[in-house]
Amino acid sequence: MGNPTGFLKVDRALPDDRDPKDRLVDWQEVHEHMPEEGLRKQASRCMDCGVPFCQSGNSQYAPKIAGCPVNNLIPEWNDLIYRGQWKDAIDRLHRTNNFPEFTGRVCPAPCEGACVLGINAPPVTIKLHEYAIAEHAFEEGWVNAEPPAKRSGKTVAVIGSGPAGLAAAAQLNKAGHAVTVYERADRIGGLLMYGIPNMKLEKHIVDRRVKLLAEEGVTFITNTEIGKDIPAKQLQDEFDAVVIATGATKPRDLPVAGRELKGVHFAMEFLSKNTKSLLDSKLEDGQYINAKGKNVVVIGGGDTGTDCVATSLRHGCEHVLQLEIMPRPTDQRAPGNPWPEWPKTLLVDYGQMEAIAVQGDDPRHYQVMTKKIVGDESGQVKEVHTVQIQWVSDENGRMSPQELVGTEKVYPADLVLLAMGFLGPEELIIEQLGIECDERSNAKAAYDEFATSVDGIFACGDARRGQSLIVWAIDEGRRAAREVDRYLVGESFLP
Ligand SMILES: Cc1cc2nc3c(=O)[nH]c(=O)nc-3n(C[C@H](O)[C@H](O)[C@H](O)COP(=O)(O)OP(=O)(O)OC[C@H]3O[C@@H](n4cnc5c(N)ncnc54)[C@H](O)[C@@H]3O)c2cc1C
Ligand code: SF4
């Protein structure tokens, strides 16, 4: 630790985001960089704790004990930033995380929620440091393709090119196996490419990493849906092992009257078409759902809903509203949510900040249940009917929503976006391979084993754990790669 009293003398600071009014006219990232001097000061706040909770994320204890799921060596690289040893910092960071440029941008940072400094002061700006180390390294030309010195002669098919599939591919390729990644979309990246909007993660950042992986020897095959274009059994026959990393792409629906009306869409249709059109033609081809001039109602108060709010505002919507059935989170940690748990406190994210800048208030309304959606005579949506609810517990402590009489509301709506979470992986591949599922319909495979019920078939990421986070997907991809390596050659030296 370079500066033992840094945490006493330096306040937490982050670079300002771009002004919402400026950033709403483009699709570029909302965050600004911090100059090196500021970063070194921030890094000096790290106390190099004897037990660094920041880096101790563990699937077994999550979310009770948060911390970094890939066990990034956080105090080490905080110190290296403080000392200006950036090359050593990226070497340390790459030891535990294949893609710090993604997590440095879009991870919600469970590490910061578990930072020891957070007990009585704002935590160390760990995510900012990760981002800075990664981008500094790319700028300096320190991140280059490193193909394996020798090949094992074994072959692996990875189905799905999200962060789990990419991390598994990167690691298996390092171990010398010939890896082929199959992706049904036309671009590689999974939700990094077609879920998370450009203003959170610009897509040339994803392409930059995919290009490196290709140079290292990973083969990518796009526009190919396993199960339809190629039977899953064929991969099982042709490859020595198969990794299922297909994500949890089945959206939760809203079973109310009017669901079938024109103008009611799943959030992912809205978001993915927007990014595709943006990348293909800067939104000139019209192949997306346009919110311009519309009253938009987003149903779902989570991150996907927030991405819909931010996208609608960039289209120039008339007004956007975000309805959430759960109560408003508290401003500070509740007594039942102590450090080092992930803090379940109110976050005003980039989309809400933008809505506040344009509309004057936070677009989120809490404890609101949608009763029905009403359309006009042409079948186009025109209203969302809601009622306020309160959550009541029964004698077994089970919570259920109770409608509050007299709180019914009608909101004008030209576009309704359903962002209420995901129900697990699609069944096609799972059925074709005869893989057992768990009680939540995910591919059944134990954490740290990742082997499914079928010999030689492994599962990781959202397809195994349900909709989660990029950092967990990277963690699972890396760990699954180690198990596949063991399966193929009897031992593994992969970290
Ligand atoms: C809108 C949105 C925003 C999010 N924002 C964040 C965020 O800011 N931070 C964060 O940490 N997490 C975020 N998440 C969650 C995060 O993106 C996921 O947890 C993560 O991407 C899961 O990675 P994965 O590799 O398991 O699956 P995915 O990223 O879902 O990738 C799976 C891939 O498999 C492909 N596929 C599926 N079936 C087949 C098939 N049969 N054949 C070939 N290919 C197939 C899919 O096309 C997809 O490309 C967000 C999620 C959404 C939906
Ligand atoms: S818990 Fe916080 S202060 Fe302690 S080592 Fe980690 S980042 Fe530094």
Q: What is the tens place of the pLDDT at every residue in 386-415?
A: 999 999 998 888 999 999 999 999 999 999
Q: How far is the CA of 160 from the centre of ligand 1 (A)?
A: 9
Is 64's pLDDT higher than 80?
Answer: no
Write the pLDDT tens digit of every residue in 307-361: 999 999 999 999 999 999 999 999 999 998 999 888 999 999 999 999 999 999 9
Ligand 2 is surrounded, with C-beta below 6 A, by 46-49, 52-54, 74-75, 78, 115-117, 124, 126
**Ligand located closest to 274 CA:** 1
Question: Which of 30, 99, 191, 276 for mutating ligand 1's site (highest number of atoms within 8 Å of CB)?
Answer: 191
Which pLDDT value is given to residue 21? 86
* Ligand 1 atom showing the smallest separation from residue 201 Cα: 8
Q: How far is the CA of 249 from the centre of ligand 1 (A)?
A: 7
DSSP states along 300-360: --SHHHHHHHHHHHHHT-SEEEEE-SSPPPBSS--TTS-TTSPP-B----HHHHHHHHHHS
Do residues 73 and 92 lie in contact, with contact meaning Cβ atoms separated by under 8 Å?
yes
Q: Where are the alpha helices (DSSP H) in 5-97?
A: 6-9, 20-23, 36-43, 74-82, 86-96
CA 470 – CA 161 distance, rounded (Å): 12
274 lines ligand 1 (CB under 6 A): no
Cβ neighbours around 375 below 10 Å, total? 18
The SS3 assignment for 244 reads strand
Asked if the domains at 155-249+423-489 and 253-420 fall in one CATH topology, the answer is yes
309 lines ligand 1 (CB under 6 A): no
**Ligand located closest to 107 CA:** 1
Write the pLDDT tens digit of every residue in 249-269: 999 999 999 999 999 999 999
The SS3 assignment for 157 reads strand
358 lines ligand 1 (CB under 6 A): no
CA 463 – CA 86 distance, rounded (Å): 35
Q: Which helix (H) or strand (E) holds 402?
A: strand 399-403
pLDDT band at 49 (very low <50, low <70, confident <90, very high): very high
Is 62's pLDDT higher than 70?
Answer: no
Write the pLDDT tens digit of every residue in 210-223: 999 999 999 999 99
What is the residue with the minimal CA distance to atom 20 of ligand 1? Answer: 470
246 lines ligand 1 (CB under 6 A): yes
Write the pLDDT tens digit of every residue in 428-438: 999 999 999 99
Q: Which two tokens stand for residue 122?
A: 């704002």
Is 440's pLDDT higher than 80?
Answer: yes
Do residues 80 and 94 lie in contact, with contact meaning Cβ atoms separated by under 8 Å?
no
What is the residue with the minimal CA distance to atom 2 of ligand 2? Answer: 115
Place of tokens 């991140």: 143
* Ligand 1 atom showing the smallest separation from residue 461 Cα: 26
Do residues 159 and 243 lie in contact, with contact meaning Cβ atoms separated by under 8 Å?
yes
pLDDT band at 189 (very low <50, low <70, confident <90, very high): very high
CA 168 – CA 480 distance, rounded (Å): 7
Sequence spans of domains, the chain: 6-140, 155-249+423-489, 253-420
Write the pLDDT tens digit of every residue in 146-167: 999 999 999 999 999 999 999 9
Which pLDDT value is given to residue 66? 83
CA 320 – CA 205 distance, rounded (Å): 29
Pick the CATH number of 155-249+423-489 from 3.40.50.620, 3.40.50.800, 3.50.50.60, 3.30.830.10: 3.50.50.60
Q: How far is the CA of 36 from the centre of ligand 2 (A)?
A: 20
**Ligand located closest to 4 CA:** 2
Q: How far is the CA of 192 from the centre of ligand 1 (A)?
A: 7
| Buried/exposed 426-437: b ≥16 CB within 10 Å, e otherwise | beebbebbebeb
Q: How far is the CA of 267 from the centre of ligand 1 (A)?
A: 14
Question: Which of 48, 72, 77, 81 for mutating ligand 2's site (highest number of atoms within 8 Å of CB)?
Answer: 48
**In the chain, pLDDT over 70 holds for what percent of residues?**
99
CA 408 – CA 406 distance, rounded (Å): 6
461 lines ligand 1 (CB under 6 A): yes
**Ligand located closest to 105 CA:** 1
pLDDT band at 56 (very low <50, low <70, confident <90, very high): confident
CA-only gyration radius of the chain, Å: 23
Which pLDDT value is given to residue 63? 65
Q: How far is the CA of 470 from the centre of ligand 1 (A)?
A: 8
Is 4's pLDDT higher than 90?
Answer: no
| Geometric angle at alpha carbon 251, from 247 and 252, rounded to 5° | 135
Is 2's pLDDT higher than 80?
Answer: no
Cβ neighbours around 384 below 10 Å, total? 25
**Ligand located closest to 112 CA:** 2
| Geometric angle at alpha carbon 410, from 409 and 412, rounded to 5° | 145
Burial of 447: CB neighbours in 10 Å, binned 0-12, 13-18, 19+:
middle
Is 466's pLDDT higher than 80?
Answer: yes
CA 181 – CA 169 distance, rounded (Å): 7
Q: How far is the CA of 164 from the centre of ligand 2 (A)?
A: 27
* Ligand 1 atom showing the smallest separation from residue 476 Cα: 26
Q: How far is the CA of 278 from the centre of ligand 2 (A)?
A: 39
DSSP states along 407-435: --EEEE-SEEEE---B----SHHHHHHT-
The structural architecture, per CATH, of the domain 253-420 is: 3-Layer(bba) Sandwich (3.50)
Between helix 163-174 and helix 470-489 the angle, nearest 10°, is 40
**Ligand located closest to 124 CA:** 2
Question: Which of 111, 442, 470 for mutating ligand 1's site (highest number of atoms within 8 Å of CB)?
Answer: 470
CA dihedral sign, ordered 422, 424, 427, 429 = positive
Question: Which of 106, 159, 196 for mutating ligand 1's site (highest number of atoms within 8 Å of CB)?
Answer: 196
The structural architecture, per CATH, of the domain 6-140 is: Orthogonal Bundle (1.10)
Place of tokens 């970290």: 495
Mean residue pLDDT across the chain: 96
Q: Which two tokens stand for residue 167?
A: 């991390």
